[in-house]
Chain A
Amino acid sequence: MAVSLPIDRSLRRNRILFALVVGALLIAGCAERDDGFGGFDGAGGANMELQGKIDIDGSSTVFPITEAAASRFRKLFPNVNINVGVSGTGGGFKRFTRGETDISDASRPIDANEFSAAVKAGVRAIELPIAYDGLTIAVHPKNDWVDHLTIDEIRKIYASGDEKSPAPKLWSEVRAGFPERSIEPFAPGTDSGTFDYFREVTVGSKSSLRSDMSTSEDDNVLVTGVAGSPGSIGFFGAAYYEENKSKIRAIPIVNPETGKAVLPSADTIQSGEYSPMSRPVFIYINAKSVARPEVKLFVNYFLTNAAEIATAVGYQPIPASLYQHGLANFVGRKAGTHYLTPEGEKRSGPLVEVFQEQNLRETP
């Protein structure tokens, strides 16, 4: 033990210091405990009695609605803990169909694979549409040539094209009379439900969109991109357009049924005129979790206030009759999906037509 430098002692002292600091941090984290029995009345008539935890995961598009619902519900029942994740629609379903979560946020209906995975794992899912999201197609404000676009023209702009008809590089290739300016398309990330939905209504789920677009998971980047160059065009959720009206211009889309060009607005999205670019968003509830009082009360609160909550965070409510149908399914614990036929084929169409009693394919 002949070798002992003076460093040794100070090392020991500082080790104690370090341990103290780390310990203090951990204690600070533990200090907040609410797992004891609460009293009846909290601030503002809140119910401190109900306890429990609700796990929610899924689409980041639906997240603002669920977050608002959770936040309001927790003002009434502060001792119920709610976690909301943003693993994406597909990622959320993966956890949901394994029974890890109680509620799954989805910006598209459950697909055949996910549905059969849920059936296999014994998870019965109750399908509840909660709002419409209007996909907005926007251009730079200086773009004065596009007065409206048809779905065919949008397809032309965004389709990947082939050797015979490559994807257009200039606006003049989209419609005669447009200037010879280069097109700069912007799109959300390929993993998002928004991208999936747009692809389905323009080129169909079997074809692909062009690969030379600028894509970003962050819709704010798309807005900045579209606002940065007069030749650009992009699509994203209506909430992003609402917040940036001075920087970008929304384009009226021709409804293939009526032939009229329609701008996205609260009225046109709710009435279904802004078709096919408005899409429903969903929550899926694990029927087994509904027995838990905290889940039952939360979903009940969510559904009865969905129209108001959705409007508050920039989405559009679905017709009241559909909320009623959803509530009836929830109360009757009717699990299944309206978006798959008994043969397992995908059913598509406007929500008001699909979300009907006779279309429910019940989970056995």
Chain B
Amino acid sequence: MNLREQTKMQSPAEFDSDSKGPLASIQLLSGEPRRKLDARFRGLCVTIAAVSVLVLIGLLGSILLQGVPSLSLTLLTGGPEPDPSEAGIRPAIFGTLWVCSLCALFTLPIGVATAILLEEYQPRNRYGRFIYSVIQLNISNLAGVPSVVYGLLGLTAFVSMFGLFGSRTSQGGGLEIGVRYYDQFFSEGMRSILVPVSDPSQPVNKLVNGMQGFDSRGNQVAINVIPIGTPLPTGDELRYTLYEDGEAGRITKKAWYHFSLPLGRGVLTGALTLMLVILPVIIISSQEALRAVPSSLRDGALGLGSTPWQVVWHVTLPSAMPGILTGAILAMSRAIGETAPILIIAGIVYISRAPQNLMDDFTVMPLQIFNWISRPQEEFHAIAAAGIILLLAILLSFNALAVLIRQKLHKPLS
């Protein structure tokens, strides 16, 4: 109300004194139509805001109605199953937590550092300015690239690493640490006998009578090989007996620190690909936040003899932190819901366990939900809705964490 009266009183004077000023476009009407127009405009804004809020309420309401009855412990603890009443989303929850935490861990430092470089360390010469403008243009463009394109980029840059480190099959390959190889024989007594493999490039061990291996309790055992046609022994001996045509299969046991090149289709690749998707968003919002820090603060610090690094670390960055975190919230909300790039680099929707290391296969919640929604059975649509509620809950808790940090950091500047 106050503002409107001010405008009314000031605009004629402004118009008279300086016809090129920002208020020049305001048409001088007599009081009534002007106020009506204003009321109409306000009405329009309220309507538009109300419509979007109503759509949101409608969406959330229908999801809650459909999903709340299906929220159950099974959903939280189970894996994907063909029977909707047994199906759960646990591997996907862990997949999402892994991928998004790693993604935040990579993206925030890189994004904020890039923004600091572009905003706080201005180029000193023509060439520097040219390079900066090229980077700036590219970042703005990349922010608008569809995420599926980043999925394809992730496929060549991370999954196969341009073929630089050899190829990787389901059984491993390339350069790797934290992995042990075994040849697994499965005896006629349904026991697994593991023969350690020192050189994985060698072909799988052939079955030899008396071959040494380890049983599931770690005891060393000798394999008993019998010709085809002979009757099977009974008792304990059966556990380590195989017919002579028995074959071994190579299996791997991976430690928690397992790492390999090329990166393959694991959690780390997912996080790096999502990093590409949200990096431009983080950089741009961090730049805005840094720009919003009054330059008087920087000048003051410089005047006291601080180096540029001290200015950034002690003055600019702390003041810009709330703004940076707001940008990070928006970017992470996008990352957590991304389906397309993950579908391209992993595309797994039936997976029986949560990721165990950075290279492990994974799926994410949006992918699992998408798969359930496209099933013909009504029951799957219901658990998909319940999955959406869980996804929203995780998203909100991620955001709550960032808001909490932002509130703590937010101190008045004066």
Q: Which residues from chain A contact B247 at a C-beta distance below 8 Å? A: 291-293, 296
Q: Among B98, B168, B346, B347, which residue has the most Cβ atoms of chain A within 10 A?
A: B347
Bound together, the chains give a CA A6 to CA B204 distance in angstroms of: 64
The answer to whether B355 touches A29 (Cβ under 8 A) is yes
**Chain A interface helix/strand/loop/mixed:** mixed
Q: 0/1 per residue, A35-55, Cβ < 8 Å to B? A: 101111000000111111111
- Interface pair B374/A217, CB less than 8 Å apart: yes
Stretch from B44-52, B54-62, B310-318 that touches the partner:
B310-318
Once the chains are docked, how many angstroms separate the CA of A18 from the CA of B321?
14
In the complex, which residue of chain A has the Cβ closest to the Cβ of B251? A52
The answer to whether B231 has its CB under 8 Å from any CB of chain A is: no
Q: Mark B275-302, 1 if CB is under 8 A from A, else 0.
A: 0000000000000000000000000010
Contacts of A356 in B (CB 8 A): none
Q: Mark B335-378, 1 if CB is under 8 A from A, else 0.
A: 00000000000111111111110000100000000010111111
| Cβ-defined contact, A64 with B353, below 8 A | no
Partner among A8, A55, A63, A100 whose Cβ is within 8 Å of the Cβ of B314 = A8
Tell which of A21, A101, A292 touches B401, judged by Cβ atoms closer than 8 Å. Answer: A21
Is B411's beta carbon under 8 Å from chain A?
Answer: yes
Is A176 positioned at the interface, with any CB of B under 8 Å from its CB?
no
Is residue A285 contacting chain B, with contact meaning CB distance below 8 A? Answer: no
- Asked whether, in the complex, the Cβ of A84 is within 8 Å of the Cβ of B318, the reply is no
Asked if A292 and B184 sit within 8 Å, CB to CB, the answer is yes
B376 touches A239 (CB 8 A): yes
Q: Which residues of A contact B314 (CB under 8 A)?
A: 3-5, 8
Interface stretch (choices A66-74, A112-120, A198-206, A341-349): A66-74
Q: Which bracket fits the contact residues of A?
A: 35 or more
Distance in angstroms between the alpha carbons of A10 and B253 in the assembled complex: 43
- The reply to whether B371 and A86 form a contact with Cβ atoms under 8 Å apart is yes
Which B residues are in CB contact (< 8 Å) with A100? 168-170
Is A184 interfacial (CB 8 A cutoff)? no
Comparing A148-156, A158-166, A240-248, A251-259, the segment that makes contact with chain B is A240-248
Contact between chains at B318 and A7 (CB < 8 Å): yes
With A63-B349, A63-B350, A70-B350 known to touch, is A52 a contact of B321 (CB < 8 Å)? Answer: no
Q: Is A82 an interface residue (CB 8 A)?
A: yes
With A4-B314, A71-B81, A83-B361 already in contact, the answer to whether A47 and B378 are too (CB < 8 A) is no
Interface residue? A273 (CB, 8 A): no
**Across the interface, do A51 and B192 meet the contact criterion of CB distance under 8 Å?**
yes
B191 to A82, Cβ gap below 8 A?
A: no
Chain B residues near A85 (CB-CB < 8 A): 346-349
Q: What residues of chain A have their CB less than 8 Å away from a CB belonging to chain B?
A: 1-8, 10-11, 14, 17-18, 21-22, 25-26, 28-30, 32-35, 37-40, 47-55, 57, 60, 63-64, 66-68, 70-71, 74, 81-87, 91, 98-102, 217-220, 237, 239-240, 242-244, 289, 291-297, 312-314
Known contacts A53-B251, A81-B351, A291-B247; 11 additional CB pairs below 8 A are: A25-B98, A40-B190, A48-B216, A52-B184, A67-B80, A84-B350, A85-B348, A87-B347, A219-B376, A220-B375, A243-B377
